[in-house]
């Protein structure tokens, strides 16, 4: 019984899930904080692509 408890306590197989969840929380937080800036950058990129394709025709 004691050996099973020690084995369970030392088992770190679930640590990967916790790390992934924490990373996702940080990414979502950054997206929420910088939402306007990200939207502006993506809009500028698409406008530049449209200008370049318009120049080709």
Residue-range domain boundaries for the chain: 30-57
**57 has pLDDT over 80:** no
Torsional sign, CA 46, 49, 55, 57: negative
Q: What is the mean pLDDT of residues 25-29?
A: 96
Q: What is the mean pLDDT of residues 14-36?
A: 89
Residue 14's pLDDT band (boundaries 50, 70, 90)?
A: low
Report the pLDDT value the prediction gives residue 24, as an integer from 0 to 100. 94
Query: Is 31 in contact with 38 (CB distance < 8 Å)?
Result: yes
Spatial CB neighbours of 31, under 8 Å, sequence gap ≥ 6:
38
Q: 33-50: per-residue pLDDT in tens?
A: 999 999 999 999 999 999
- SS3 state at 35: helix
């Amino acid at each position: 019984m004691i050996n099973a408890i020690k084995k369970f306590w030392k088992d770190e197989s679930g640590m990967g899930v916790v790390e992934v969840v924490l990373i996702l929380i940080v990414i979502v937080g950054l997206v929420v904080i910088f939402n306007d800036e990200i939207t502006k950058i993506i809009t500028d990129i698409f406008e530049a692509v449209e200008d370049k394709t318009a120049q080709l025709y």
